[in-house]
Amino acid sequence: MTRIFLLLLAISITLSCQNEKKDSYIIYGSTSGFENGTSVYVNALSQSNRPAVIDSTTIQDGKFEIELPSVEQMDFNYLTFNKVPGNVLYLAENNPIEMTIYKDSLRSSIIDGGSENDLFFEYLIKVQDYNKKRIELNNQYQIASKLKETEKAQNLATQLSDMFNQEKAYRTEIAKNNPNSIVSVMALTDLLNLKVVPARQIKELYTTVDDSLKKTRLGKNLDQLIRNSVGRIDVGSEAVSFSAPSPEGTTVSLKDAMGKLTIIDFWASWCKPCRIENPNVVRVYNKYHDKGLNIIGVSLDRDKKKWLEAIAADDLQWSHVSNLQFWQEPIAKLYGVRSIPATFLLDENGKIIAKNLRGAALETKIAELLD
């Protein structure tokens, strides 16, 4: 009887310990370069995106340990250190998390947690790698274009396009394959913000995400973004017709400007990124206009003189319209344009087949469709 009692007591203690573990998770920190007594603060974000310190501890002999309440809704937390700029980001999850933190390079810190942190940092490293390679290729492309090394530029443009498609596919697969992870919500948010996947497709993918994630701060943010985006003019939808005054004072419509392929180009004389991109658009137009490429520029200018001067200075030899109403431009509002440059690529039937292509990506897409 005594043995049975002891066995039951052992089971009870074990279950009690297991329950204790579920009520909290622990961060074990190893640090380099920090003085003894340096304060460590754990910060979280509320549903309204306001940061708040939820706990703190101090570093002793290069180590710290802190026990935090169990996580009910998955989200990002971050550590800050007294008198040290920057922070260390991690996903709060109900598993022990080990951190190796370098004072001189907080971004190089190593986070070893549960499956959520493993997936998050795998995703982060992969995306950073894509960004680095894209910047390198784009720089090479710009140099080749300026030196008029046409074949090399075209090859680099193709590489950039391939990388763009690979990155889009990677983010999409992360979302599809991890419906129970907050990282899937993050990947879908990135795809929507980058405007590389139609909002309605994001909406379809979001329906597969676990319901508990939809109640999180990130899930609610994504849901609102989807609601704001679905129904707008997007890839796959028909371009809405419009007409407006040309520089000569006549009325020009989208229908008047249509070609085998048509770019609706939202820009302005005061927009520096637009002016930087214009030489690339001119080169693509000169190369493919005879094969069926047309462009209609919609300016968000308000000063007609400056608008006309920019058209002449940048040698924009295509159709132009503007109501000269700045950000109140009706056509920009119609197309949901909130930043420029912004472009919509239409096929000969007026269907939008791509958005916001710039630099090498624009030429690659045009070449793919017309060459």
Residue 253 belongs to domain with CATH number: 3.40.30.10
112 within domain boundaries: no
Q: Is 315 a residue whose pLDDT tops 70?
A: yes
Are 151 and 259 found together in one domain? Answer: no
Give the burial string for 341-353 (b: 16+ CB within 10 Å, else e).
bbbbbbeeeeebe
As for how many domains the chain has, the answer is 3
Residue 250 sits in the same domain as residue 363? yes
Task: Round to whole Å and give the CA distance between 359 and 309.
Answer: 23
Structural domain includes residue 234: no
8 has pLDDT over 60: no
- Model pTM score: 0.65
Tell me whether residue 315 is in a domain.
yes
pLDDT digits (tens, 9 = 90+) for 142-172: 898 888 888 898 888 889 888 888 999 999 9
Last residue of a domain, one of 48, 82, 107: 107
User: Is the domain of 123 the same as that of 38?
Assistant: no
Of 31-35, 177-181, 234-238, the poorest mean pLDDT is in 234-238
**Structural domain includes residue 326:** yes
Residue 248 lies in a domain: yes
247 and 355 housed in the same domain: yes
Mean pLDDT of 99-104: 96
Closest CA relative to residue 268, chosen from 345, 187, 209, 323 = 323
Rounded Cα–Cα distance for residues 364 and 284 (Å): 10
Instruction: Assign 238 a pLDDT band (cuts: 50, 70, 90).
Output: confident
* Domain finish residue from 56, 83, 107: 107
Residues 35 and 75 in one domain: yes
Residue 23 amino acid letter? D
Asked if 159 and 255 sit in the same domain, the reply is no
Residue 21: Cβ within 10 Å count:
14
Q: What is the pLDDT of residue 4?
A: 39
| Res. 1: pLDDT tops 50 | no
User: What is the per-residue pLDDT for 15?
Assistant: 36
Average pLDDT value for residue range 327-340: 91
DSSP string, 110-169: EEE-SHHHHHHHHHHHHHHHHHHHHHHHHHHHHHHHHTT-HHHHHHHHHHHHHHHHHHHH
- In the prediction, which pLDDT does 22 show? 56
SS3 of residue 324 by DSSP = coil
Q: Is 9 a domain residue?
A: no
- What values do phi and psi take at 212, rounded to 5? -65, -30
Interval 9-18 mean pLDDT: 38
Per-residue pLDDT tens over the stretch 208-225: 999 999 999 999 999 998
**CA distances (Å), origin 77, targets 43, 125, 180, 220, 308:** 6, 18, 19, 17, 51
Between 17-26, 53-62, 335-344, the lowest mean confidence (pLDDT) is in: 17-26
Q: What's residue 231's pLDDT?
A: 63
* 247 and 223 in a common domain: no
* CA end-to-end span of the chain: 88
Residues 224 and 130 in one domain: yes
* Lowest-pLDDT range of 2-11, 31-40, 100-109, 353-362: 2-11
Residue 248, judged by CB atoms within 10 A of its CB (0-12, 13-18, 19+), counts as exposed
Residue 4 lies inside a defined structural domain of this protein: no
pLDDT at 128: 94
8 Å CB contact between 98 and 79: no
Print the domain residue range for 93: 24-107
CATH, residue 86: 2.60.40.1120
Q: Is the pLDDT of residue 65 over 60?
A: yes
Report the candidate in 358, 334, 244, 359 with the shortest Cα–Cα distance to residue 297: 244
Task: Establish if 355 belongs to a structural domain.
Answer: yes
Q: What would the pLDDT profile of 351-366 be if each residue is shown by its tens digit?
A: 999 988 988 889 889 9
110: pLDDT strictly greater than 90 = yes
Does 46 share its domain with 81?
A: yes
pLDDT at 50 > cutoff 90:
no
**Among all chains, which residue has been given the structure tokens 């080990």?**
98
Ranking 6-15, 66-75, 326-335 by mean pLDDT, the lowest is 6-15
182 by Cβ neighbours in 10 Å (0-12 / 13-18 / 19+) ranks as: buried
Q: Answer yes or no: do 247 and 168 share one domain.
A: no
Final residue of a domain: which of 229, 257, 292?
A: 229
Backbone conformation region of residue 148, classed left if phi is above 0, alpha if psi is from -120 to 50, else beta:
left
**Do 163 and 137 fall within a single domain?**
yes
101 and 130, same domain (yes or no): no
pLDDT in tens, 256-308: 999 999 999 999 999 999 999 999 999 999 999 999 999 999 999 999 999 99
Compute the mean pLDDT over every residue in the chain, rounded to the nearest whole number. 89
If you ran DSSP here, which 8-state letter would residue 102 be given? E
Which is more confident, 148 or 315? 315
